[in-house]
Amino acid sequence: MPTSAFESPALPPRQSSSGLRIRRRAARFAAAVLLGATALGAYAQTYPVKPVRVVVAFTAGGTTDILTRLVSQQLSERLKQQFVIDNKPGAGGNIGTEMVVRAAPDGYTLIVNSVGPIAVNPTLYSKLSYNPLTDLVPVVQIAEVPNVLVVHPSVSATTVEEFIAYAKANPGKLNYGSTGVGTSSHLSGYMLAKRAGFEATHIAYKGADAVRDLLAGRIQFMFATIPSVMPHIQAGKIRPIAVSSAKRSRSMPEVPTIAEKGFPGFEAGSWFGFFAPKGTPDAVISVLNKHVNEIIAIPAIEQQLITAGADPMGGTPAQFSQFVQREFEKWKVIVVESGARAE
């Protein structure tokens, strides 16, 4: 029947108070997401508005310092703000790393770090006041840098086979240097001596001091990052025997890998990349990742890196994060096996 003009119109079903609360929360969440995305976008467009400090947890002149200065100079030119290098060496890279962990997560304090402080030190040091795997955000990998086994000219060997024979013929008489206990240069030497079955005495140095003593003949061999010894190799002051990476280095393609010389699976290189304090805005991470990827792909920069002994990498933050986790798992086993400890 037709509804009387005096009858009340039908009302929609009454909504429960809980349903209304859920919808209101959803609406507020959507608005917050939109506002956050807008803010991040604006942040990305304005960052950086002041100089950015880039911490290097090692001494000036080392591989980390060399690569950091090369890329940071390009960032300064592109982003129209100074990326200022701040060398804070000490405790195997822990001092500089902790400084960045404690810094404000605003994108204005970054660190270019390496395999030691990030992947080795969590196992090597029993009392770290922070966890570099969770307290830092991987931004982008700059390069992988193989270690190269180099010898003083007083060592007659020119090949891996000759070097091992020489070491076995002189048990306990060879000293090898490293840039510190538990560094990749130390553990590379440990791994080779163990797998090849010879004895040698490890001497830990601070940074570039090891190379200086190798040049002086105070130590007979060491594993060093290619950039740190390339000029001395080119000058004929030390001799390269093999690289520690899984494949030959683009900067020294004529030098064989240890793996191909009878030690399959031998891989103990270094790597370097940008990290930021946990909580740094995603927009900042994206800006830095984008520009560093573009910088290392510039032909002239790429060739400069290769000439220095670094293999350019790049990639996304997620890829770098996954790589770091794999490296941590690998080096954890080696550190425990070696018995190396640092306090």
CATH number at residue 191: 3.40.190.10
The tally of domains found in the chain comes to 2
**Of the residues 232, 261, 290, which one is the last residue of a structural domain?**
261
No. of helices (H) and no. of strands (E), the chain? 13, 11
Query: What's the average model confidence in pLDDT over 141-165?
Result: 96
Backbone φ and ψ for 140, nearest 5 degrees, come out as -165, 140
Is residue 26 pLDDT above 60, yes or no?
no
Residues 226-253: what's their mean pLDDT?
Answer: 92
- Report whether pLDDT(7) > 70: no
pLDDT at 341: 84
242 and 177 in one domain? yes
Instruction: Quote the pLDDT of residue 324.
Output: 96
Q: Is residue 307 part of a domain?
A: yes
**pLDDT confidence of residue 193:** 95
| pLDDT score of 70 more than 90 | yes
Tell me whether residue 36 is in a domain.
no
Is residue 170 included in any domain, yes or no? yes
26 lies in a domain?
A: no
Helix segments in the chain, DSSP class H:
17-46, 63-79, 94-101, 115, 121-124, 132-135, 160-169, 184-196, 209-215, 226-234, 282-297, 299-308, 317-338
- Give per-residue pLDDT as tens, 210-221: 999 999 999 999
pLDDT at 121: 93
Largest alpha-carbon pair distance within the chain? 114
Could you say which of 233, 261, 289 is where a domain stops?
A: 261
Give residue 228's domain range.
Answer: 147-261
Confidence band for 166, pLDDT divided at 50, 70 and 90: very high
Tell me if 105 is assigned to some domain: yes
Q: Are residues 248 and 303 in the same domain?
A: no
Residues whose CB is less than 8 angstroms from the CB of residue 94 and which lie 6 or more positions away in sequence, other chains included: 57, 117, 121, 125, 128
State whether 278 and 130 are in the same domain.
yes
Among candidate residues 229, 261, 293, the one where a domain is terminated: 261
Residue 209 has pLDDT above 60, yes or no: yes
Domain shared by 155 and 85, yes or no: no
User: Distance between CA 1 and CA 287 in Å, rounded?
Assistant: 68
Altogether, the residues listed in the chain come to a count of 343
pLDDT score of 37 more than 50:
no
Mean pLDDT of the chain: 88
Predicted model pTM: 0.78
